[in-house]
Amino acid sequence: EQELRQKNRDLSLLNRVANQLAESHSVEEILDHCLQTLCQSFQMVGGGIYLSRENRSRLKLAAHRNLTPEEEQVLLELDPRQSIIGQALLTGRPYAATDLASHPLLAAPLVVQNGWQSLQTVPLTSQTETVGVLFLFDRKNRPFSPDEVQLLLAAGNQIGTAINGAELNAALKWQGRLTQASNR
């Protein structure tokens, strides 16, 4: 019975994410709404979403929750090869760290000074392409269960597909405007 209730909560979360994706029109709206829902659902202090840029050689912070201005500044752009968060982009798999202070790929020591202890990342995928990374952080040692990671992966697939769709839609609108301008 308890397992059935948990599965019901999981499906409810994915349904909320799907509804937010359907109602959102811009990439910014998609990321903000989904990030807020996931932080609340997993009871995490905060998190962020990075989008992959320059052929996966850079990660650019596109949305965040509960980052200080200083944290935002140092986390604005990351080299995936030299960061914990980048491992999800490079491998296409979830990556977790429950003792950030001793992790060799800690890109921003400031976050440990500000009390971050654990981090969970998942790739944002659209079909076979990884378009970004979602991360959630907490100020306590908070490992995610395998079921929670699977739920985050499912949400990551939904978000990744929505990002690709929104970017394609924006490109088509831009192309339409260019066509109209050249016809004039």
Helix, strand or coil for residue 50? strand
- Two tokens, residue 151: 């739920």
The 8-class DSSP code of residue 45 comes to S
- Residue 1 confidence (pLDDT): 80
- Report which residue type is found at 157: N
List per-residue pLDDT tens for the chain, 184 residues long: 887 787 778 777 777 777 766 776 677 888 998 899 999 999 999 999 999 987 888 999 999 999 999 999 999 999 999 999 999 999 999 999 999 999 999 989 999 999 999 999 999 998 888 999 999 999 999 999 999 999 999 999 988 988 887 767 666 777 777 777 778 7
- Residue 170 confidence (pLDDT): 65
pTM above 0.85, yes or no: no
Rounded to whole angstroms, the Cα distance separating 27 from 20 reads: 12
Category of 43 on φ-ψ map: left (φ > 0), alpha (ψ -120 to 50) or beta: left
Give the residues across from 78 on adjacent strands: 59
